Amino acid sequence: MKTMRTLLTALAFVGLPAWAFHCPADMKKIDEALPTAQLDDTQKAEVLRLRADGERLHKEGKHQESVDTLAKALKILKL
């Protein structure tokens, strides 16, 4: 039983960084797609605003809000 508890605890800690680092991966996708994206000026401005907001939220530790915000930018970019 103790071994199982130790294993589950270890797996939980291994999985936590994946959530924390999801925001930077989304920001990278946006940064890579933006230069070649077929967007009008309004869409480009919105993507840039959402990207900046997502980064700010990530730095504040609000990862779910960051992921949600970055997802809006990814949707505009059709990613």
SS3 content of the chain, % helix, strand, coil (to 5): 85, 0, 15
Neighbours of 53 (CB within 10 A): 16
60 CB-near residues (< 8 Å, 6+ apart): none
Residue with tokens 């990530």: 58
Domain ranges of the chain: 18-76
Instruction: Please give the pLDDT value at position 59.
Output: 95
CA gap 59, 48 in Å, rounded = 17
pTM as predicted: 0.74
Predicted confidence pLDDT, tens digits, the chain (79 residues): 666 565 455 545 555 454 456 889 999 999 999 999 999 999 999 999 999 999 999 999 999 999 999 999 999 999 9
